[in-house]
Amino acid sequence: MIHPSASVSPKARLGANVSIGPFTIVHDDVQIGDHTSIDGFCEIGYPSPLAQGLPLVIGAHSTIRSHSILYAGSTFGDKFITGHRVTVREKTTAGVNFQLGTLSDIQGDCQIGDYVRCHSNVHIGKMSKVGNFVWIFPYVVLTNDPHPPSAVLMGCEIGDYAAVATMSVVLPGVKVGRGALVAAHSMVGRDVAPDTVAGGSPAKYICDTSKIKLKDGTERPAYPWTSHFQRGYPPEVVAGWSVPPAP
Amino acid sequence: MIHPSASVSPKARLGANVSIGPFTIVHDDVQIGDHTSIDGFCEIGYPSPLAQGLPLVIGAHSTIRSHSILYAGSTFGDKFITGHRVTVREKTTAGVNFQLGTLSDIQGDCQIGDYVRCHSNVHIGKMSKVGNFVWIFPYVVLTNDPHPPSAVLMGCEIGDYAAVATMSVVLPGVKVGRGALVAAHSMVGRDVAPDTVAGGSPAKYICDTSKIKLKDGTERPAYPWTSHFQRGYPPEVVAGWSVPPAP
Amino acid sequence: MIHPSASVSPKARLGANVSIGPFTIVHDDVQIGDHTSIDGFCEIGYPSPLAQGLPLVIGAHSTIRSHSILYAGSTFGDKFITGHRVTVREKTTAGVNFQLGTLSDIQGDCQIGDYVRCHSNVHIGKMSKVGNFVWIFPYVVLTNDPHPPSAVLMGCEIGDYAAVATMSVVLPGVKVGRGALVAAHSMVGRDVAPDTVAGGSPAKYICDTSKIKLKDGTERPAYPWTSHFQRGYPPEVVAGWSVPPAP
């Protein structure tokens, strides 16, 4: 299960049935859960003094795709799934079933909840807080410095079930409320109220999410998205959403 | 021509005079045309159930630069040229002489015409349709989901000879007309008429492309761009453009 | 210090105490200064006819992180530091202590001053001129073609001590003045005067930088940033700024 061209430190702690692909490097301070698969060309547990001696912990049943780099000091729950060439720096914690798309870059010191989905090329600045069941789409940047460059770091907060659409920036310290939607190509400088849509550069209130209808011919409400989109979530989670099943 | 550190499946079908660089992995379901060169650190024919058993087909006289990942199930015409670290997923088809810049990411199920140029860091969502002789510039995103997240996919269409300038987003289902220009940093939410310029966030009609003059001292019209820019196209294609040669 | 899996050309000229990581390829036309460290999976001195026979020169005490690609023909001063997966093409010159973040892409023929910091995912087009002590933040694009596609290249200029915040585009030929600040998510189509803030899409004058106060509880001025942010600069440089030290 470990490719002969891979380089795995004897200090790394690998669970049962872990596979490591060609040319991948696993450094010293690494703990990998059972049944996890890591592709080729990865660096796992990249050493850094900012990790302060903490290990990289990857949960069980995870999939790390090729050319990815995960620093020492971060912790990912079970069923972590990445695209290719992701980078995650030190001291980020993510809950279960975090999906992180190709080319995404998490700068460290972030808190990420359960069942979060980041699509390709998402950039999450240091000190960001991302809730549970959040969706972040390509080329979104979560920032932290209110007057760059400076040593002041004010992380954003993205509430549970919120979605931030492609190529939007969330300014330092801004909170996007539970179930809110940030429209594509927006610059979000003020807090977004729960269950509302904000958009534009600068972003303004557009409407409540309840006004948006599904473009699938049914005219059903598109939000909360949990009412019609359940793909990839386990049945016990979907059951907890207490929504009528899709027709 | 195959570097000794490369790993090439005996099931892959390689044409004459194919070269494979160091540490590159060529998987089973791969067909590579004659005289094609693949750099190091690539994964060619990355396996996926979404490929549905289809092979990756790369045309003759192609160049794949280092750290690129091409999934099984896609097909590229002759003279395909990539930058570094491109990613193309399953079941995309591209015509001849597609040029795909460094860090670009094509999500799969796309149709791409002949002689298309994507610069660095272009993100093309699933179900996009890109015509012939199209230009797409850095940090452009073509989207597909009208109310994210959902299972509704409405791909964009980019017409022949159109150009989409840097850091613009094209919203789901939007059509950019033949020969149109989308200005930089635009959010395109409505169709763009042929041979017009649209720009802004949200994008609006600015002028006809015929009003834009070349900033090379000649004051000639800048569009159609085929009248002055022919670099990299074969003579028989340029001859078909029926335009006066550049002075 | 050279990993046994690395491939280093005997023509490359390596200084004293240079280290080369696993699987890294060092091509022929390369000069590396003393005490420089290069991670794994890199391509150093990628050959190109556009380099016109010039070597890649990397100064002493530099750090090149993994998966980076540096073309032949460019020159970097001492204490060059990169993130992961950077790409720099031919004939760019950078001064001392250039810091280039993960996934950044410099297209070649650029002039970059001393002590410049580019964060992650910065895209610098050909012919750009970047002064000294400049800061460029994630997803910024410096452009060059006033009517794409064309053969007319008009590089931007970014003045000393200026900062360009995240996801902004600077249009071809535009000059951002000394000490100016471009706000996040801006499209900069006109010159920005020194020590002013410009923002929006299109960007307009917002205020003088002197009006912005530090959000650290002190209400001190946030600009010039050299008055409060000195991390990572050598003491003799900070002394030259002639500013009162941070309290």
| Complex confidence, ipTM | 0.96
pLDDT cut 90: percent of chain B above it: 96
Flag if A139 and B141 touch (Cβ within 8 Å).
yes
Signed CA dihedral, A149, C62, C76, A24: sign only: negative
Chain C: list its partners (3+ Cβ pairs within 8 Å): A, B
Flag if C66 and A85 touch (Cβ within 8 Å).
no
| Residues paired with B38 in a beta bridge | B20, B64
- Whether residue A54 contacts residue A71, with contact meaning beta carbons closer than 8 Å, is answered with no
Q: Do C60 and C156 fall into the same domain?
A: yes
Among residues A222, C141, C14, which one has the least CA distance to residue B184? C141
Q: Do C228 and C192 fall into the same domain?
A: no
Flag if C166 and A143 touch (Cβ within 8 Å).
yes
Signed CA dihedral, C208, C214, C219, C222: sign only: negative
Q: From chain A, pick out residues whose CB is under 8 angstroms from the CB of B146.
A: 215
Q: Do C31 and C142 fall into the same domain?
A: yes
Number of compact structural domains in chain A: 1
Question: What is the DSSP code string of A129-156?
Answer: EE-SS-EE-TT-EE---SSSSSS-----
- A181 found inside a domain: yes
Flag if A146 and C66 touch (Cβ within 8 Å).
no
Q: From chain C, pick out residues whose CB is under 8 angstroms from the CB of A43.
A: 40-41, 66
Nearest chain C Cα distance for residue A25, angstroms: 9
Flag if C149 and B135 touch (Cβ within 8 Å).
yes
Question: Which residue has 């209130």 as its token pair?
Answer: A205
Of C103, C117, C214, nearest to A105 by CB-CB distance is: C103
Ranges under pLDDT 70 in chain A:
242-247
Flag if A120 and B103 touch (Cβ within 8 Å).
no
- B71 found inside a domain: yes
Of B184, B185, B229, nearest to C151 by CB-CB distance is: B229
pLDDT score for B244: 52
Residues 6+ apart with CB under 8 A from A240: none
**Other beta carbons less than 10 A from residue A92's beta carbon:** 23
pLDDT cut 70: percent of chain B above it: 98
Residues 6+ apart with CB under 8 A from C38: C18, C19, C20, C21, C24, C26, C32, C44, C64
- C83 found inside a domain: yes
Q: Do C197 and C244 fall into the same domain?
A: no
- B238 found inside a domain: yes
Of C7, C46, C85, nearest to B22 by CB-CB distance is: C7
Q: Do B151 and B182 fall into the same domain?
A: yes
pLDDT score for C240: 87
- CA-based nearest residue in chain A for residue C211: A147
Q: From chain B, pick out residues whose CB is under 8 angstroms from the CB of A216.
A: 150-152
- B2 found inside a domain: no
Domain that holds residue C195: 7-209
Q: From chain C, pick out residues whose CB is under 8 angstroms from the CB of A107.
A: 120
Chain A: list its partners (3+ Cβ pairs within 8 Å): B, C
pLDDT band of residue B240 (cuts 50, 70, 90) is: confident
Which residues of chain A have a Cβ shorter than 8 Å from any chain B Cβ? 22-23, 40-41, 66-67, 83-85, 102-103, 117, 120-121, 135, 137-139, 163, 165-167, 181, 184-185, 200-201, 212, 214-216, 222-223, 225, 228-229, 231
pLDDT score for C243: 57
Q: Tens digit of pLDDT for each residue in C26-37?
A: 999 999 999 999
pLDDT band of residue C118 (cuts 50, 70, 90) is: very high
Q: Do B104 and B217 fall into the same domain?
A: no
Of B85, B184, B200, nearest to C171 by CB-CB distance is: B184
Q: Do B137 and B190 fall into the same domain?
A: yes
- CA-based nearest residue in chain B for residue C173: B215
- CA-based nearest residue in chain B for residue C7: B22
Q: Indicate the residue among C209, C224, C239 that finishes a domain.
A: C209
Q: Do B204 and B118 fall into the same domain?
A: yes
DSSP state of A21: -
Q: Do B15 and B91 fall into the same domain?
A: yes
A239-243, B182-186, C149-153, range with the lowest pLDDT: A239-243
Q: Do B196 and B220 fall into the same domain?
A: no
Would you say residue B246 has pLDDT above 60?
Answer: no
DSSP state of B226: G
Q: Token digits for A90?
A: 């030190």
**d(C-alpha C56, C-alpha C50), whole Å:** 12
Among residues A32, C24, C18, C22, which one has the least CA distance to residue C9? C24
Q: From chain A, pick out residues whose CB is under 8 angstroms from the CB of C22.
A: 7, 23, 25
Supply the mean pLDDT for chain B: 96
Taking CB atoms and an 8 Å cut-off, how many pairs form between chains A and B? 93
Which of C167, C169, C216 best probes binding to A when mutated, by most A CB atoms within 10 angstroms?
C167
Q: From chain C, pick out residues whose CB is under 8 angstroms from the CB of A187.
A: 167, 184-185, 201
**d(C-alpha A239, C-alpha A234), whole Å:** 9
- B1 found inside a domain: no
Residues 6+ apart with CB under 8 A from A187: A168, A169, A171, A200, A201, A202, A203, C167, C184, C185, C201
- A203 found inside a domain: yes
Flag if A103 and B103 touch (Cβ within 8 Å).
yes
Nearest chain C Cα distance for residue A43, angstroms: 9
Flag if C215 and A152 touch (Cβ within 8 Å).
yes
**d(C-alpha C27, C-alpha B126), whole Å:** 38
pLDDT band of residue B94 (cuts 50, 70, 90) is: very high
Nearest chain A Cα distance for residue B98, angstroms: 22
Supply the mean pLDDT for chain C: 96
Distances (CA, A) of B53 to B74, B111, B224: 11, 19, 42
Would you say residue C89 has pLDDT above 70?
Answer: yes
Flag if B87 and A103 touch (Cβ within 8 Å).
yes
Residues 6+ apart with CB under 8 A from C241: C226, C227, C230
Across B62-66, average pLDDT:
98
Question: Which residue has 């920005």 as its token pair?
Answer: C192
Q: Do B34 and B14 fall into the same domain?
A: yes
Q: From chain C, pick out residues whose CB is under 8 angstroms from the CB of B223.
A: 147
pLDDT band of residue B243 (cuts 50, 70, 90) is: low
Nearest chain C Cα distance for residue B103, angstroms: 8
- C1 found inside a domain: no
- CA-based nearest residue in chain B for residue A134: B149
Nearest chain A Cα distance for residue C53, angstroms: 31
**Which CATH number belongs to the domain containing residue A163 in this structure?**
2.160.10.10
Across C5-15, average pLDDT:
97
Flag if A141 and C22 touch (Cβ within 8 Å).
no
- Whether residue C153 contacts residue C127, with contact meaning beta carbons closer than 8 Å, is answered with yes
Flag if B231 and C25 touch (Cβ within 8 Å).
no
**Other beta carbons less than 10 A from residue C212's beta carbon:** 17
Q: Do C187 and C116 fall into the same domain?
A: yes
Which of B167, B219, B241 best probes binding to C when mutated, by most C CB atoms within 10 angstroms?
B167
**d(C-alpha C116, C-alpha A225), whole Å:** 44
pLDDT score for C247: 42
Flag if B167 and C141 touch (Cβ within 8 Å).
yes
